[in-house]
Structures are given as C-alpha cells and as structure tokens.
A and B are shown apart, each in its own frame.
Chain A
Amino acid sequence: MYGLVALGYHITWATSRTMNFSQGAAVMAGAVVAYAVFVALGWPLPVAIAVTLAALACFGALVERVAVRPFFLRASPAWLLATIAVGIIAENVAQLTFGKDARAFPSPLMQKPIMVGSAGFYAQELLVPAVGLVLMGLVQLFYHRTSYGKQLKAVAWNPEAAGLMGINIPRAVMASYALSALLAGVAGILLAPLLNVSPQMGTIIGLKAFAVAIIGGLTSAPGIIVAGLGYGLVESFTAGYISTRAREIVGFGLVILVLVARPWGLLGEKPSRRV
C-alpha cells in the first residue's frame, strides 16, 4: 500500500523533478471524500469511487497550480515547502469539516477473516497489493507505450527542449500531479476500511511512502513497488517482534541506511552530474 502512494511521488518526479509532499494529505482526502459520499450520503460504491477519484484528480491539479507551477524551473526548494503548506492546509480543512475523530469505514471485504493456519487476514488486505501491482503495470505501460507517456518523460529530461517540440509543459506537469493524487486517492479508498478514517491519517502514510519511494529509487516504478512490499513486511515484523513504536524507528532508520549506501535507491538510476 505504501508502494501505491510512493508511485505518485515517482510520477511527478519523473515528469517535473518535483514532488508532491502533500501526498499524505491526498490519501487522507481520498478516504475522507469516499467516506462522505459512500457512508454519509449513502451513494452506491462505484459512484462513490468515481466521485472520489475525480475529486482527487482535481486536488492534484490544484496542488500543481498553487504550489508547484510558480516555482517549477526555478532552482529552489520552494515547491517542496509550498506542497507541504498545501498539505497542512488540507489537513486542517478536513479537520474543520470532518471533525477530529476517526470513523470506521465499512467494507464487504472486511466481514470475516480468511484463516490460513493460525494467522487470519481480510480479503481487503490482499486487495491493496493486488491493485498496487496492477496500477504499477498500467503506469509502466503508459510511460513506455503511449505517446503521451513519452511526452511526460521528455519533459523530465529536458523541459526546454520538450517545450520547443510542442509539448505543453504546464499541462504535462499538471497531468502528472493529477495522476499522482489519483493514485493516492485509490490508496485512500483501499485503506479506509483497514485503518479508520481521520484527518490525521495521511501524514505518516505520506512520509512512509516517501521513504519507500527513496528506498526503491525515485526513477524506478518497479523498484518502488518492491520497496513498498519490503517495507510493509519489515514493519509488520518489527511491530510483531519488538513493538509498534519501534516500527517507525526501524523503518526510517532503513531509509537513512539506504541513502547512505545507495543514494539513488535500490533500483533507481544513478544520476550523472552534468558540468
């Protein structure tokens, strides 16, 4: 599930060499909107999912417009801080409208656990990695097989040249942000039944997903999915054998180790420096 959110970092990074640090807020928004439409308004599930995804795509586009475009191509970390700012605002807005309390999200896949030996799990838990893998496959296909995907890659490599070739850069970047937020929204919907829905749920997921993106390599979608699964496993083992809190310590410790040993990630491309 981290892999899915982390894929969103990869998508915007691959297009614009910027990242949406409010990915966590997008996950939260996905869960909150889905809750509002599905549980509170009682709309049918497919409609609720469609509405949520549309809302998230708009959120992504908005983030790009407000927090990234003004600073794109300017060599400054301003976009980083600006997206954090948007995330903070989104969290607060959710808090004001949704309330601070966590709420349960019902799902047909959470009714009874499937038992394998003594360990039990819910079908929903299987759905998350499955959807993650499928979406990764789609993203890869999109980048390598479609001309629009190739355009996005061209923007990443050399925005100036891509612009001269007639690619609408602002639109390409905005599209990548919309797509990235959309993935976070999918993650939000999938996670809503597993965790409880609350305005604070996003921050830590966003951070962990970022950790996963860096471990796997920001430039590599397969690397990110592998790292996402690995990170999830390491977390559950630490939580199981040591303690729940230690889980975070071990997880983020891992990031620091990876960055020291292989700053470009496990499967990422080693950047060459241009002089």
Chain B
Amino acid sequence: MRERFTAWCFAAPAVLLMAVILILPIVIAAGLSLTNYSLGNDGFDWTGLKNYDRIVSRSSFQKMFTATFTYVGVVVPLSVGLGLGAALMINSLKRFGDFYKTIYFLPVMAALLAMAIVWEFTLHPTIGLINETLSLACGSWLESFAFFERGCVRNFPLWLGDKHYAIWTVAFIGIWQGFGFTMVLYLAGLTSIPRELYHAAAMDGAKTGWDRFRLVTWPMLGPTTVFVVTIASIRSFQVFDTVEAFYPQGGGPSKSVYVMMFAIFEKGIQQNLIGVGSAVTVIFLTFVLFLTLVQRWLVERRVHYA
C-alpha cells in the first residue's frame, strides 16, 4: 500500500504534466467540437455532431480535403523519392559530399515564411524569374509545344493565382523545402548498412547497381523508409506557413489550396468559430494518429530485422 503511494508520488509530476499539457487540451478540443462556443461568449450550447456534419457536407470543407490530400499525395512520394535519390548519390561521392548535403539541407533550415516571400517574387506572373525565363523560349522551336504556344500568345501561368496551378505550385515548394530532410534521414540510414552485406552481394553475383539496391540497400533501408514516410506525411498534413504567406485572405484561388491547418486557423482564430475549428482539429488528429499507428504496426510486423 505504502509502496503504491510512493510509486504514484514519483510518477505524479510526469503524469500531471502529460495530462495538463497533452491530454487535457485534446479532450477539451474534442468537447468543444460538439458545441457552438466562441471566444468571449459567456456560455455555449451543445450542438452534437452538427459541426462534423457541416464539415462533411459543405463544399468549402470538401475542398479542404481535396487540397490536403492532393498536397500530401504529391509531396510525400516525391520528397521521399528525391530524398532517397539524393542520399544515394551523395553517399556514392568520394568528395564534395558535405557540400551537396549543405545545399540540399539549406531550405529545411530556412524559415519557410521568409522563403515564401522569395518564391512569391520568383513566381510573379509578369516580372517573376520563372515566367521571364519561360518567355525567352518564345520564337524558338519550343513554341511548337502547346504550353509555350499558349504562354507566348497570351500569358504564362499565374502559378500562385490560377486555381489549376496553385496547389501544384505550393506542393512543389513543399517538396523543395522538405526533401533535404528526408535526404538527411536516408543518409543516416545508409551509414548503418554493414559494408560486408555489399561484399556478400558482390560475391553472390550482384553485378549491377540495381541488383545491389534491390538485394541490400532498399531492404536494409526499410525501417528508415517507414519512419521517413510517416514524418513526411505528418509534416505534409501540417502544411500552413506557405499557404498563410501566399493567401492570407483564405485558401487560394477558389479555395484550391485550402489545407487543413489553414482551415483550423481560419475558422478557430480568424472567424472565432471555436466549435468548427475544434472539429477540424479532431479530424486532423485522427489522421495523424492513424499514420502513427500504421507506422508502429509496420515497424513491429514487417521491417524489424534484429
């Protein structure tokens, strides 16, 4: 009895902090998502699942899901793939490896909000570097492509302002910013592959780089890949700062870049609709939790070698 009490005393600070800082806010958010509470109001009414119903049925929220999943679906595979490719290439270098590492890692370290402003200039429809460069091709054989023909006759894409391009442009910036991070994780994973496995593969008759990759590198990077994909997914679900910097007025051209984090911010903070904001937050948390569970399951079931 005494021992149990002592044990609880030792655990109490950690349990208390965890409850207050982590668990309680989630519970409160879940509770608020069932109300019509606004900050500053004296009271609130229980509205049941009405907030969730709105999210599922309203078109702006459907656009939110489209934007979020498009972003995640584009950014995750590409930043993981590019990160792996860059890591493999850097790993094969004898010199200048650190140089490339630094270059690819720079966007990760830079403040995305500041970078967003630079991208805004670069992508400017008329004076931006991108469209200026593209217009150089006017008059050349490149004009036989429909894209250039249209661009030269009328104008090149508005990139950030066109609802057909906006989400892809934002996703591109997300990849540019994120793949350095996956590269670093893959580089760490690559250093932990025993060199003897490559020698064994060579002795077993693995002649091409692809053979070695299939036989040793890719399977041995399995645990790293699970981790990288999870981290990249969570980071992509969390995308906010580029959207806020480009479209402070809400979600881009016809809400095509209305990602989840921005929806939480807009509803909960800007419009002071705490109930709706909380509901989106709960849905967001569910996705992240689901991803984490999948990762745990994969780590335990499939890729654990030891």
The answer to whether A and B assemble together is: no
| Chain A residues engaging chain B, CB cutoff 8 angstroms | none
| Chain B residues engaging chain A, CB cutoff 8 angstroms | none
